[in-house]
Structure 1
Amino acid sequence: MDRIMTNISVLVSGRGTNLQSVIDAIENGDISGAKIVAVISDKKEAYALTRAKNHNIPGIFADPKSFSSREAYDDCLLDILKENKTDLVLLAGYLRIITGRLTLAYENKMINIHPSLLPAFPGLHAQKQALEYGVKVSGCTVHLVEPALDGGPVILQKTVPVLPGDTEETLAARILIEENKAYPEAVKLFVENKLRINGRNVTILE
């Protein structure tokens, strides 16, 4: 029996390189049984919307300034997600803090990627935080989204060395290469129902 199609919606704010990595993985068949049904941005000029258009994916700009509160905005997003029969929500460079409206509605069905080895260096400027701390290894973390900022259970992580003379920009560029590998890998695991979640522990089935 054919596997049911997984409808994916992606929340974005910027360039959308991780969005592109997932689009490519779906189009080249590495991720099968999944379709991106909507790309939703809080920034009208986000290049991620152009990426969506280039692949005939519906792109939606939802203006936060049109809403009286963060909760009201997330209610709007929730309506869009439901209208598109979304099974999995991806945060791909989405810069707004998400309220419990969304995290509860998509518990264990919302994934984010962060440019550090969580729980180290959550929040903004993770690469700068890593350099200032003096770590020798950094990387990226794909995790489930919970109300706590960058605090959800870890799905997978990839590492990169921190090199002498690294700047925030050079470290970020090296981490981004691994992000573009890790995100499609995590999405594939979700779509293939290979993730088992027990509290904070995520087990990957063979």
Structure 2
Amino acid sequence: MPNALCNVLVLLSGSGSNLQALIDSSHTEGSQVRVCGVIANRADAYGLQRAEAAGIATALLDHTGFDGREAFDTALMALIDGFRPDLVILAGFMRILSGDFVRHYQGRLLNIHPSLLPLYKGLHTHQRALDAGDTEHGCSVHFVTEELDGGPLVVQAVIPVEPGDTAQSLAQRVHHQEHQIYPLAVRWFAEGRLRLGDQGALLDGLPLPASGHLIRL
């Protein structure tokens, strides 16, 4: 969608720091990214306040009011589609999404995960990297598929694990890198450079490696 704004809908459950990074990036000259809406499943998600401060439309859909994941996801899809987004991104959205939901947004649904996928899918990634004695850690942006944290990789930021690192110190440094690579991946999509092909992620029409585009620090 070059030469046109790309409407991006953000799903979140918490503080929304990745949302803020995306908002800040979208304000740079020449950006084709427009955050068209933010939806949270928790009323106390600070990301809603970040969005409102930036003049972005918000909505709350509390998952506890639904009888099961499928019912919630059906309502969520209807709410999202009302914003008419070109791209949906998960920014700390603490829900496992149903297959119907993922298929509905196939090729236009991105997630960021705080590990070098395929390592450490799920939770507690920083402590698990330390427990394994890893010398490198990082974060990954990927297209979402029905496999949890398992879709084709777009970009990864790799940082060294420092002597004396704790899960907290590692998390802080990884978080900083999330704020760099997530807006980058969204920008690629908005510029028409990034898409999901039959065999995986494509950048400028060429297949990305299995590890995605690597950025080492």
State the TM-score bracket (shorter-chain normalisation).
over 0.9
Asked if the contact 1:152–1:200 (Cα under 8 Å) also holds between the matched residues in 2, the reply is no
Distance (Å, rounded) in 2 between the aligned partners of 1:144 and 1:28: 24
For residues 69 and 195 of structure 2, what CA distance do their matches in structure 1 show?
31
Number of equivalenced pairs:
205
1: distance between equivalents of 2:116 and 2:2? 36
Which has the higher mean CA deviation after the structures are superposed, 193-202 or 145-154? 193-202
Runs of 4+ aligned residues of structure 1 deviating over 6 Å after TM superposition are none
Aligned to 1:184: 183
The CA distance in 2 between the partners of 1:36 and 1:143, in whole Å, is 19
| Amino acid paired to 2:125 | A
Tell me if structure 2 keeps the 8 A contact 1:8–1:38: yes
Distance 1:2 1:133, change over 3 A: closer
Tell me which amino acid in the other structure corresponds to 2:65: S
Q: Tell whether the 8 Å contact from 1:115 to 1:140 is kept in structure 2 after alignment.
A: yes
| Partner in structure 1 of residue 15 of structure 2 | 15
**Partners of 1:59 and 1:2 in 2: CA distance:** 26
What's the TM-score once normalised by structure 1's chain length?
Answer: 0.95
Partner of 1:76: 75
Please give the residue correspondences for 1:112-131 in structure 2 after superposition, counting only pairs within 5 Å. 112-131=111-130
CA contact (8 A) 2:2 2:190 kept: no
Question: Contact 1:154–1:200 at 8 Å: present in 2 too?
Answer: no
1:165 match: secondary structure: coil
- Matching of residues 16-35 of structure 1 within 5 Å: 16-29=16-29, 32-35=31-34
Question: Unpaired segments of 5 or more residues in structure 1?
Answer: none
Amino acid of the residue matched to residue 97 of structure 2? Answer: I
Deviation at 1:178, TM superposition (A): 0.6
Q: Is the partner of 2:150 in helix, strand or coil?
A: coil
Q: Is the Cα–Cα contact under 8 Å of residues 2 and 191 in structure 2 kept in the other structure? A: no
Equivalent residue number for residue 212 of structure 2: none
Correspondence list, 1:123-202, <5 A:
123-202=122-201
RMSD between aligned residues? 1.6
Percent of pairs identical after alignment? 40
Paired with 2:146 and 2:82, the residues of 1 have a C-alpha distance of 23
Q: For 1:59, give the aligned amino acid.
A: T
Whole-Å separation in 1 of the counterparts to 2:197 and 2:48:
35
**In 2, Cα distance between equivalents of 1:13 and 1:108:** 22
- Counterpart in the other structure of 2:3: 3
TM-score for the superposition, normalised by structure 2:
0.90
Stretch of structure 1 that moved more, 189-198 or 74-83: 189-198
The offset of 1:111, in angstroms, is: 0.3
Q: Distance in 2 between matches of 1:78 and 1:36?
A: 17
